[in-house]
Amino acid sequence: MYSPIRRMKLLTTFLLSIIFVMVSNIFYFNTAPDSSLSLLSLPTANLYFFKTELPGIALLNLTASTLESTETFSKKNLAVVITILLDRKYNQDIVLFKGQKQFTYQVSLGSVNSGKHTVEAIFAPKKSSIEARGAKIKNFVVNVIPDRSPQALIYQYSPILYGRNLSKVSGTYENNYTDIPLLMYHTINKEPDGNTTIKYTVIWSNEDGGTSTPALMAQWGRTTDIEWIYQVTLDPLGNIVSEAYHGFAHLPLPFIGSKEGKHPLLVTATINNVMMPVIVANYSTGYRFFLDPSPTLPQNRSREAIMDVNPWIYSVMVRELFKEGKIEAIANPNTPEVSDPRNYLYLEIDKTTMQSQGLWENRVGVALAVKLKKDSQWYASHHHIPEWSIQRDRSAATTVELPLGTTRDDIEAIKAIAIPLGWTVSNPYKIALTKINRAFFLDNNYLPQQSFIDWRGEIILTSEHPEAIVIKAYP
């Protein structure tokens, strides 16, 4: 049970969020509805026909590339956007973030009735950068998940995400080059009372606000932004029990917005990718994303495991770091600034914290440190900044910055270090580290190399013994 003060704070935050949503929907959205975009007049259309015997949710795999390179590591924000029409009506937009490399973009098209349908892909010059000339469409593949399929629930409630247009970021259609929504995944939980909860999470290429880039590498082992955006709980008959979105102050707030069928309409409302429901369905920021929610989180793994099974995300992540000038000019593992991401060891651990008091002021984190052969220094994941230690339990990812050119063969030992934050002697702690699930470097193309550590055991950290060697003399 929450205390009266805590309940009052939550109520105040909720009321403020309602005011925030109402006011923001007045000023945040453009005053022109989607139908005014004159999409059919745009050039370079590609048309695809498909037929379905049963009504359901249509999924599109679109293989495409740009006419010019957009994967340059320069600071030039070259972006190509294509618009998707379903049965001649505006459906969504796709940012071709892989540039000239052919890539299959996986999106949802929403509900379709039985019968014949058309899908069109159209180059959208107004939503692209001025220098963009167009796109090449290689292939359309449409798969329809029938409404009566056991998997249909996952697709029927997946959210539609309107793109961000904020005054703090230069240019309109800003998600065409910064904080691009790359992938959506879902988790589904069957509860003891028979209800089912589905949660949808999006991975963005970065976040322009919130946690700093060096802190992201230390605390989360990546510079993408990974946030749940919407969850719905259904009873055994399929009725909605509750639904929430990731809103103001990072709180789960009741969803009170518009829907397209069963699909909630959300918009990215802040530079750290917090959501806001769309209240007026006919008005928008002018572009939106309708990602395929098929991917799901590997069991007992951190959220970053989704990136490991979709390794292309790392290369998109790195490209944005270079474009935004977030890489230090001269690599130095003794400074917290981010160097070339190939200089980092990417790790994922499992840990459990047991402490006498669960107060936030008395929390304790963990950092990992790496020692190299012929080098007396221990290189720490948190760069000796206590707040950058790992303070969450279960599976958690981090990175350790190492000298330029370090390889797996240079590693002599890895140790775990307890990092008390505001701790006192009267509050003893105990931390059990039980796994290192993976350890890898990025290759020359900024893709994960093969993991070379899969450790299982138990290392105990306490206030009396805050450090312990996990792996020694590797290999």
pLDDT band at 78; cut points 50, 70, 90: confident
User: Would you say residue 341 has pLDDT above 50?
Assistant: yes
**Helix, strand and coil in the chain, % to nearest 5:** 15, 40, 40
Tokens, residue 393: 């339990």
pLDDT at 43: 42
Count H helices, E strands: the chain? 5, 25
295 by Cβ neighbours in 10 Å (0-12 / 13-18 / 19+) ranks as: middle
Predicted confidence band of residue 366 (pLDDT cuts 50, 70, 90):
very high
Please report the beta strands in 211-258, taking only residues with DSSP state E, as ranges in sequence order.
225-234, 240-246, 252-254
pLDDT at site 284: 80
| Strands 259-260 vs 263-268: parallel, antiparallel or unpaired | antiparallel
- The residue that leads in pLDDT, 61 or 24, is 61
Q: What is the mean pLDDT of the chain?
A: 88
Beta bridge partners of 123: 82
Q: What is the mean pLDDT of residues 174-203?
A: 96
User: What confidence tier does 280 reach under pLDDT thresholds 50, 70, 90?
Assistant: confident
Enumerate domains of the chain plus CATH numbers: 28-321 (2.60.120.260), 333-472 (2.60.60.20)
HSE-up of residue 459 (Cα within 13 Å, Cβ side): 23
pLDDT value at residue 417: 98
For the segment 123-160, what is each residue's pLDDT rounded down to a tens digit?
999 999 988 999 999 999 999 999 999 999 999 999 99
pLDDT of residue 44: 45
Kindly report whether the global pTM for this prediction surpasses the value 0.95. Answer: no
User: Is it the case that residue 74 has pLDDT exceeding 70?
Assistant: no
Residue 465: φ, ψ to 5°: -130, 80
In this structure, what token pair is assigned to residue 200?
């949808």
**Residue 362 predicted with pLDDT over 70:** no
